[in-house]
């Protein structure tokens, strides 16, 4: 077995153990939440005029997928099904497979978050280099301030701000959903255009929120690299500024690369606040709804996806790091 394969096998094994630990932890954690599925619905049935017996029976009928088996037996059953790729059935959407709900929500998280992530990374890194190199100038200072400012704004505040300006006040962009329902979904221009239009505000929110972090991290990294001996040495040897900039960029971006790789994993969690504000039906929104309705299988399924994606991203980041930084291989 080569060193690379050995390293990969070790990381996969550790990843599997970590998945099991997290699955076990989240299974018991979500079941420990106070309240049970149907509690809220029971109240609504009472308000609709049912008596308590009718409301209880109706809850039993529509939320009949709740298991009444002991928790340990539910846990072993869950693990057994999981081993066969079965995430179970949703409680709040009685009978609908969890995997179906997750697959439906997945694209509406991955596409906007990925777009936002890449845009913010590119702009943040370039702006970070500029802010570091020109840190004594007014522009460098302004960039740093802009990074600190947007990094400090809570997601829901920024989302609401964009919503009010671009939808409520100027009415330039739609505020909610994924597309205009009057267009038939498929590979047709009006529908795809509508999807793009609806994605603009969520993507911009993601991008603006993470831009500050990339900028500040890159600036700090560049400033640190600028003080390294090899930069001084390269200056003394008369190496051209362009080549020197490449040295700086390559070395400074290494710590950010790990964060970027992890961000790909975290992206599967979506963003509760952004998806909720724009009523964007991604994984964050699904998870939020499932917590509200105590839909244990959906909660467990969503947490599992997030966990696995973060672990995979972590493993990939480790492996890629060995490729991009020769020092690690030694």
Partner 1 sequence: MSRPKPLVAALAVATIAATALSACSSSSAKKTNGGTGGGTGGVFTSIDANNKITAGAPMNPYNAAPNMFLGYNIMELGFTKNDPADPNALLPGLAASWTASDTGLTIQLQPGAKWSDGTPVTAADIKTSLAIAYTQGTAGPVAGAGGTVVAGSNFEVSDVKDLGGGKIEIDQQPGVKNLYFQRLVLTSTIVNDKVYGSQLPADIWTQIAAVQGTDAAAASAASTKLAAEGKTIAAFAPAKDISAGPFVETRVNPGEALLDRNPYFYAASKISPKQVILRSYSGNQQIWGYMNGGELDYAPYTSMPTNILNQVLKAGYTRIDAPSYVSASIAFNEKQAPYNLTPVRQALAYVIDRDAVTKVGEPVGGIAAPTTTGLVGSQSDTILSADQKAALNPYKPDPAKAASLLQGAGFTKDASGQWHLPDGTPWKITLQTVNGFSDWIAASTIVANELTQFGIPTTAAITADFATYQKEMGAGKYAVGWWLVALGPQTDKAYARIYGSADGFSVANGQATHNDSAAGNWEHTPATYTVNGQSINPGQLAAQLSVTPVSAQGPIIAQLAAATNQEVPMIQIWNYTHVMFTLDKRFTNYPKTGQDDLLANPPGVWMMQGYVQGK
Query: Which residues within the stretch 54-93 sit at the binding site for partner 1 (CB under 8 A)?
Result: 54-65, 89, 91-93
Residues forming a β-bridge with 128: none
Binding mask 123-152 toward partner 1 (x if CB under 8 A, else -) reads ------------------------------
Smaller CB distance to partner 1: residue 23 or 295? 295
* Three-state secondary structure string covering 54-107: HHHHHHHHHCCCCCCCCHHHHHHHHHHHHHCCCCCECCCCCCCEHHHHHHHHHH
| Segment near partner 1 (CB under 8 A); pick from 117-125, 128-136, 207-215, 230-238 | 117-125
- The answer to the question of residue 101 lying near partner 1 (CB under 8 A) is yes
Among the listed ranges 17-25, 190-198, 221-229, 233-241, the one in contact with partner 1 (CB under 8 A) is 190-198
How many chain residues interact with partner 1 (CB under 8 A)? Answer: 85
Interface characters, 146-185, with partner 1 (x: CB under 8 A):
--------------x--xx--xx--xxxxxxxxxxxxxxx
Q: How far apart are CA 25 and CA 77, in angstroms?
A: 15
Which is closer to partner 1, CB of 5 or CB of 187? 187
* Candidate ranges 71-79, 116-124, 262-270, 305-313; the one touching partner 1 (CB under 8 A): 116-124
Q: List the one residue out of 121, 123, 144, 124 whose CA is nearest residue 132.
A: 144
User: What is the C-alpha to C-alpha distance for residues 240 and 303, in angstroms, rounded to an integer?
Assistant: 50
Among 8, 18, 19, 50, binds partner 1 (CB under 8 A): 50
Q: Out of 46, 110, 111, 260, point to the residue binding partner 1 (CB under 8 A).
A: 46
| Residues 299 and 184: beta-carbon distance below 8 Å | no
Residues 274-313 that bind partner 1 (CB under 8 A): 276-277, 279, 281, 285, 289, 291-294
Among residue numbers 16 through 35, which ones bind partner 1 (CB under 8 A)?
Answer: 33-35
Tell whether residue 36 is a contact of partner 1 (CB under 8 A).
Answer: yes
Candidates 9, 100, 154, 165: give the one binding partner 1 (CB under 8 A): 100
Joined tokens for residue 166: 């671009």
Residues counted in the chain:
330
User: Taking the complex as a whole, how short is the minimal distance between the CB of residue 171 and partner 1, in angstroms?
Assistant: 6
Reference 270, options 68, 117, 96, 97; nearest CA is 117
**Structure tokens that stand for 164 in this block:** 């009010």
Written as six digits, the tokens of 129 are 């280099």
Q: Is 228 in the site for partner 1 (CB under 8 A)?
A: no
Angle at 31 between CA 58 and CA 99, to 5 degrees: 75
* Contact indicator for 284, 270 with CB cutoff of 8 Å: yes
- Number of Cβ within 10 Å of residue 221's Cβ equals 22
Instruction: Give the residue with the Cβ less far from partner 1, 27 or 42.
Output: 42
Q: Is 250 a binder of partner 1 (CB under 8 A)?
A: yes
CB of residue 10 vs partner 1: minimum separation in angstroms? 25
What is the rounded CA–CA span in Å between residue 171 and residue 175? 9
Q: How far is the CB of 238 from partner 1 (least distance, A)?
A: 26
Based on the shown chain and the rule CB under 8 A, indicate whether residue 193 belongs to the binding site for partner 1: yes
Nearer to partner 1, 23 or 102 (CB): 102
Q: Are 66 and 38 in contact (CB under 8 A)?
A: yes
Q: Tokens standing for 128?
A: 């970070």
């Amino acid at each position: 077995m080569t060193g690379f394969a050995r390293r990969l096998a070790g990381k996969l094994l550790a990843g599997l153990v970590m998945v099991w630990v997290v699955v076990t932890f989240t299974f018991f954690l979500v079941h420990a939440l106070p309240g049970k599925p149907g509690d809220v619905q029971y109240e609504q049935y009472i308000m609709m005029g049912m008596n308590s017996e009718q409301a209880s029976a109706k809850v039993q009928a529509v939320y009949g997928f709740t298991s009444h088996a002991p928790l340990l037996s539910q846990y072993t059953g869950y693990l057994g099904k999981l081993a066969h790729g079965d995430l179970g059935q949703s409680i709040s959407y009685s009978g609908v497979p969890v995997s179906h709900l997750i697959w439906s929500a997945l694209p509406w998280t991955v596409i906007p978050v990925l777009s936002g992530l890449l845009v913010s990374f590119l702009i943040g890194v370039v702006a970070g280099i500029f802010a570091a190199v020109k840190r004594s100038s007014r522009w460098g200072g302004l960039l740093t301030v802009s990074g600190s400012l947007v990094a400090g704004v809570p997601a829901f505040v920024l989302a609401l701000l964009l919503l009010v300006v671009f939808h409520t006040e100027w009415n330039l962009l739609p505020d909610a959903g994924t597309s205009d329902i009057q267009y038939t979904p498929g590979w047709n221009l009006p529908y795809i255009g509508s999807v793009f239009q609806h994605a603009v505000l969520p993507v911009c929110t993601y991008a603006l929120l993470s831009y500050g972090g990339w900028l500040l991290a890159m600036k700090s990294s560049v400033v640190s690299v600028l003080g390294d001996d090899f930069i001084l040495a390269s200056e003394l040897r008369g190496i051209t500024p362009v080549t020197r900039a490449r040295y700086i960029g390559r070395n400074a971006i290494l710590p950010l690369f790990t964060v970027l790789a992890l961000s790909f994993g975290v992206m599967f969690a979506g963003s509760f606040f952004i998806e909720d504000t724009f009523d964007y039906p991604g994984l964050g929104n699904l998870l939020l709804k499932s917590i509200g309705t105590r839909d244990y299988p959906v909660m467990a399924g969503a947490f599992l996806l997030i966990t696995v994606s973060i672990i995979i991203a972590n493993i990939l980041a480790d492996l890629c790091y060995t490729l991009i930084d020769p020092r690690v291989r030694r």
